[in-house]
């Protein structure tokens, strides 16, 4: 049985987003990207990435003096894990409640509604009647 994907903290998720976008990166590369949107200290970024390596969220190539980090988890897998947790805790497991809340709180364009309809029809086609 496969180990469950660890739930990243908000700071870890920010690091993962940089790695998913840029690919293999040094701590300095990640730190420079993160400081574009908020102040951060290099040693904090380093510590976060070391913890992430221990948790299995990133891997580290230590062959050179400068360590290169890579995301060890797929973006889609983290999104699914976080969404499942969010639906369970916020909407008591009801995807319908989530969708109804999302559609009720936002202006949904005709194009978006058509895409949602297409996805629903596609999902219906996959399930046996």
Strands 58-61 and 68-71: antiparallel
* Chain length of the chain: 129
> Strand, coil or helix: what is 5?
coil
CATH of domain 10-71: 1.10.10.10
Residue 51 and residue 53: Cα distance in Å, rounded?
Answer: 5
63 DSSP 8-state letter:
S
- Residue 70, strand partner residues: 59
Q: What is the pLDDT of residues 99-126, one digit of tens each?
A: 888 888 778 888 988 998 898 899 888 7
**Residue extents of the structural domains in the chain:** 10-71, 93-129
Confirm whether pTM is higher than 0.85: no
For range 1-15, the mean pLDDT: 85
Model confidence at 96, in pLDDT bands (50, 70, 90)?
Answer: confident
- Residue 68, strand partner residues: 61
């Amino acid at each position: 049985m496969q180990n469950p994907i660890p739930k990243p903290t908000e700071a870890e998720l920010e690091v993962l987003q940089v790695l998913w976008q840029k690919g293999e990166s040094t701590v300095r590369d990640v730190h420079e990207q993160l400081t574009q949107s908020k102040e951060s200290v290099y040693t904090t970024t380093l510590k976060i990435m070391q913890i992430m390596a221990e948790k299995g969220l990133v891997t580290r190539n230590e062959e050179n003096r400068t360590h290169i980090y890579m995301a060890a988890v797929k973006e889609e897998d983290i999104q699914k894990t976080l969404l499942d947790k969010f639906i369970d805790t916020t909407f008591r497991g009801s995807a319908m409640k989530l969708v109804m809340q999302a559609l009720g709180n936002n202006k949904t364009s005709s194009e978006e509604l058509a895409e949602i309809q297409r996805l629903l029809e596609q999902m219906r086609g996959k399930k046996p009647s």
